[in-house]
Structure 1
Amino acid sequence: MSDFINLSKENLETEHVCCAISDKKHQIGVNLKKEWLTARIEEGHTFRKLDAKGKVFIEYAPLEKAWVPVIGENYYYIYCLWVSGSYKGKGYAKSLLESCIAKAKEEGKSGICVLSSKKKTPFLSDKAFLIKHGFKVVSTYNETYELLALSFDGTLPKFSPSVGEVLPYSEDLVIYYTHQCPYSHDCITQVTSYTEENGIDLKLIHVDSLEKAKNLPSIFNNWAVFYKGQFETIHLLNKGFLEKLIEKKQ
């Protein structure tokens, strides 16, 4: 099996960040991701990837520093575990997850948590895979999304108290986002263009601090969408997906 490497301040400029590895239209997003990641590395954020030109990586951080509305003590939070294309079925996801578990135990962590869903959902780790490795559902949101945890000492994380609060805005479409995902920039460009062309009120909210992330009104893994005051999805929106969402609601 090929070697894995961790991104660091020393190699971040020369290494790719997996997700938008070959699409030039996402280059601005890649640069924004690297800027975001540079600050997070000092906080214990880990981005571990296969030393190859492929989408094979895991990204996690101490829960106390993770930009998500999930709280708990001494946990790791997994943002993303992704293996795609020809790399599937070769044990890479298992190796990446096991490396996270081993690191957590070595550092005396209480456990690891991750956002998933009842049914397989894009941009989220597969629930069945996580359950197979000892994770259990500890909380559910919107009858779709689930917080899973692998606890080493019996303690459990939970969603922040703000999750589920009424949205304090009147716009038709409200999107919370960070620059953590390199796809976000292009998605925002497409959404902005579509809403302007179709007369849809749009409010974009850049989640640019840990405090904001911990106090969001819904679950969040770098993106969250509300339409007509109701939470809809954490799926990134391009023009096509947004059209389908609005058609479904009309």
Structure 2
Amino acid sequence: MCDSYINLEMNNIAKEHLCCAISDKKHQHGVDEKRSWLAERIFEGHVFRKLDAKGKVFIEYAPLETAWVPVNGENYLYIYCFWVSGRFKSKGHGKDLLEYCIEDGKRRRKSGICVMSSKKKTPFLTDKKYMLKYGFEVVDTIDDYELLALSFDGTKPIFMDSARKQEIDTKELTIYYSKQCPYIPNCIEQVKKFCQTNNTPLNLIEVNTLKKAKSVPCVFNNYAVFYEGRFKMVHLLNEGYLKKKVLV
């Protein structure tokens, strides 16, 4: 494709849009939070590459050693988010972005690329079927969640031991979250409001350091929900989804 793409850098991060929450005013606080979070990651080799257009077309990845996820591996890149939506679908953008990431990994002499997915297509996670077409394979599994990897040298990353727990001591609704996704702050506010109105105990745990992210007691890309001591999902919650899928 001949379309132009942009990598967010310190000289343009303040003026460029962040794609996923581009047109929704209620998420603008989250955009500001994400912009600040991202600015701190750029010097770690974090990449946010997007189409130079007003749309949701981007890939975001980072060195696994500094990626805020409970995944362990040496010299890998980890894909946080990979999204092509709306009128931009079926135009080769996904191919362009993923191939850029793969070639970037090879240029950096990385051992491979990895990403969290699931056995069935799940919102907020990369589509497994698409990644398999590019040579990714399942290298580790926790229940319905899978770690996919494209290895350049035969080595493979794995989930941290802590992620295999999938349970915590407290029974109350508990949410682990980071500011990596601009949708999260608004979702947290919706959950807080619902829980206050309905006298539902709520425990919010902000994952605000790399150390915390590497030791979350479940699979975690930027958000994780527990209820009655058991891990439920990585799906971001609004009030409706909370009542329908968690508090049942």
Contact preservation (8 Å) 1:171, 1:203: no
Q: What's the TM-score once normalised by structure 2's chain length?
A: 0.97
Q: How far off is 1:198 after superposition?
A: 1.4
What are the Cα deviations for residues 135-169 of structure 1, in whole angstroms up to 9, with x where unaligned? 00011112x11000000100000001111226444
Letter of the aligned partner of 1:212 in structure 2?
A: K
Query: Which residue number in structure 2 is paired with residue 213 of structure 1?
Result: 213
* Superposed CA offset, 1:51-102 (max 9, x none): 0000000000000000000010000000010000000000101110000000
In 2, Cα distance between equivalents of 1:168 and 1:240 = 24
Letter of the aligned partner of 1:15 in structure 2?
Answer: E
Aligned match of 1:196: 196
One-letter amino acid of the structure 1 residue matched with residue 217 of structure 2? P
What is the correspondence of 1:15-54 to structure 2 with a 5 Å cutoff?
15-54=16-55
1:145-194: per-residue Cα shift (whole Å, max 9, x none)? 10000001000000011112264442420000011100000000000011
Aligned residues of 2:114 and 2:157 also touching (Cα < 8 A): yes
Residues 36-65 of structure 1, C-alpha deviation per residue, up to 9 Å, x if partnerless?
000000111000000000000000000000
* Match in the other structure for 2:178: 178
Q: CA deviation at 1:199?
A: 1.6
Identity of aligned residues (%): 59
Partners of 2:56 and 2:48 lie apart in 1 by 12
Q: Residue type of the partner of 1:13?
A: A
Distance in 2 separating the partners of 1:145 and 1:168: 18
Within 5 Å, give how 1:8-157 maps onto structure 2.
Answer: 8-142=9-143, 144-157=144-157
C-alpha distance in 2 between matches for 1:122 and 1:167: 22
Distance in 1 of aligned mates of 2:166 and 2:53: 44
* Aligned residues of 2:168 and 2:230 also touching (Cα < 8 A): no
Q: What SS is found at the alignment partner of 1:60?
A: strand
In the alignment, is the contact (CA less than 8 A) between 2:166 and 2:231 conserved in 1?
no
Shift in alpha-carbon separation, 1:118–1:168, aligned structure 2, 3 A: closer
TM-score normalized by the length of structure 1: 0.97
Q: Number of matched residues?
A: 247
Q: Is the 8 A contact 2:232 2:246 kept in 1?
A: no
2:199 partner letter: G
Where structure 1 has 5 or more consecutive residues not aligned to the other structure, the ranges are none
CA 1:222 to 1:232, structure 2 compared with 1: closer, same or farther past 3 Å?
Answer: same
- Structure 2 CA distance for aligned equivalents of residues 172 and 189 of structure 1: 17
Q: 1:146 and 1:168 mapped to 2: Cα distance?
A: 21
Q: Is the 8 A contact 1:171 1:201 kept in 2?
A: no
Equivalents in 2 of 1:216, 1:184: separation in Å? 17
**Distance in 2 between residues matched to 1:135 and 1:165, nearest whole Å:** 26
Gap change, CA 1:100 and 1:166, over 3 Å in 2: closer
Q: Secondary structure at the match of 1:42?
A: helix
Conserved? CA contact 1:83–1:92, under 8 Å: yes
Distance 2:24 2:81 in 1: 20
The more displaced of 162-171 and 45-54 is 162-171
Instruction: For 1:130 and 1:170, locate their aligned partners in 2 and report how far apart those are by CA, in whole Å.
Output: 36
| CA gap 1:171/1:228 in 2 versus in 1, 3 angstroms | closer
Residues in 2 aligned to 1:195 and 1:147: alpha-carbon distance in whole angstroms: 33
